Chains A and B, each alone.
Chain A
Amino acid sequence: DAGVIQSPRHEVTEMGQEVTLRCKPISGHNSLFWYRQTMMRGLELLIYFNNNVPIDDSGMPEDRFSAKMPNASFSTLKIQPSEPRDSAVYFCASIKAGSNQPQHFGDGTRLSIL
């Protein structure tokens, strides 16, 4: 079975550029989560979706960050404009809502903003 698929695996870009991270959840999973991991702040939940609808976006740092889930098999996290402090590893995870299973994580995107 394919797991959660994230792309790109690495992204290096200059400050001010737009960055788009992509995620394909596991088929049949209807809850999707975006996390950010840094040394300073650990693993932070940015936003999560249930049935393509954003349920909790209280972790989104500021208006420069936006996330969409246009359908059950695809989500994006966009940063515009990007700043050096956005450098982190961004994880996507998915789960079937109501199940007793744990979240399944993608391999993450390492983002470096120069």
Chain B
Amino acid sequence: AQTVTQSQPEMSVQEAETVTLSCTYDTSESDYYLFWYKQPPSRQMILVIRQEAYKQQNATENRFSVNFQKAAKSFSLKISDSQLGDAAMYFCAYRRNSGGYQKVTFGTGTKLQVIP
């Protein structure tokens, strides 16, 4: 079974600084997707960034980027120039790419605090 591990329950970062959130996963599949979701206090689940496993290039979305290490099964999220609005829970998620199989496995989350 696939598992997703986020080993940092809480992190903090100074405003305008950079922070990296860790995520590792376990799978025997070779084709899959990885996601980072943000959940602010409003509790919405917002997609931050996604990565297809067959792509070697790391995904980036403005201030958000990932370091995808397929062999190590690691998928960390880097937030640059942190802003107060980045304070939230961040969830790493995995989904295998297998036709109609759509089940997503989530990590337990990392609570990010941004210090003004």
| A contact residues vs B (CB 8 Å cutoff) | 31, 33, 42-43, 45, 48, 50, 56, 89, 91, 93, 95, 97-98, 100, 102-103, 105, 107-108, 110
Contact = CB atoms under 8 A, between A and B. Distances in A.
A42 B108 contact: yes
Nearest to A110: B43
B104 interface: yes
B64 interface: no
A108 B41 CA distance: 12
A102 B102 contact: no
Interface residues of B, number: 22
B52 A97 contact: no
B11 interface: no
Contacts of B42: 107
Contacts of A97: 100, 102
Contacts of A93: 45
Contacts of B106: 42-43
B43 A108 contact: yes
A98 B99 contact: yes
The 5 A-B pairs with the shortest beta carbon distances in the complex, nearest first, are A105-B45, A97-B100, A31-B102, A43-B106, A42-B108
A102 B103 contact: no
Contacts of A110: 43
B73 to A, nearest CB: 20
